[in-house]
Amino acid sequence: MTVEAKICGLSTPETVEAAVRFGARWVGFVTYPPSPRHISTETMRVLGAGVPAGVGRVGLFVDPDDALLDEKLATGVLDLLQLHGAETPQRVAAIKQRTGKPVMKVIKVAVPRDVERGVADYAAVADRLMFDAAEGTLPGGNAKVFDWTILSGHRVPVPWFLAGGLTPDNVAEAVRVTAAGAVDVSSGVESGRGVKSVELIRAFLARTASL
């Protein structure tokens, strides 16, 4: 089983280069000012332009309006839009239609019903789903793990990512329990809040490559 890995919240050339060099399939850029991982449009343009073909570039948005989407998409460096707010299925469909980009909707998970409702509401309108911990002060990147057994045995009809408190130490167990085909990490490869570590990125990607 090949597990794809996404390193989210990248903000420097060195950490983007590390993610690419050590085998990330996806790199993520945050467009949410309250987050310590937020970067400017120009920084996103520069970082994204240096990512080689074959590595997907993801923009993380939280309830974006059309103007923000237009501004970030004008950089030409986003391949996938990650919606991490309270976007309705109708809004997800509208964003996909308006931008022409594939869309991933994040589902916040605390109890089994969250997964069932998320799949029922969004699988028909999103290209991908991501299951993340509901707990935390930010929409994501809170270093919080949810009960992975909630996902065990679930059939999800679109490709999906597992997120929420993943680290080099627990990602193998997380994949074993959930059978996730893709994983997303942000805080789990940081030396400080919002500060990515090249060594932790290397360790995380080495672990996922062995799964």
Q: Where are the domains of the chain?
A: 4-209
Query: In which band, very low, low, confident or very high, does the pLDDT at 138 lie, cut at 50, 70 and 90?
Result: low
Tokens of 12: 């420097």
Q: Where are the beta strands (DSSP E) in the chain?
A: 4-7, 26-30, 56-61, 80-83, 103-109, 128-133, 160-162, 182-185, 190-192, 195-196
Residue with tokens 């909630």: 150
* Averaged pLDDT of the chain: 95
Can you tell me the distance from the alpha carbon of 170 to that of 162, in angstroms, rounded to the nearest whole number? 12
Report the percent of the chain where pLDDT is more than 90. 92
Query: In which band, very low, low, confident or very high, does the pLDDT at 33 lie, cut at 50, 70 and 90?
Result: very high
Tokens of 130: 């991501």
Can you tell me the distance from the alpha carbon of 103 to that of 113, in angstroms, rounded to the nearest whole number? 23
Please give the pLDDT value at position 141: 56
Among 3.20.20.70, 3.40.50.740, 1.10.3720.10, 3.30.70.2190, what is the CATH number of 4-209? 3.20.20.70
Query: In which band, very low, low, confident or very high, does the pLDDT at 180 lie, cut at 50, 70 and 90?
Result: very high
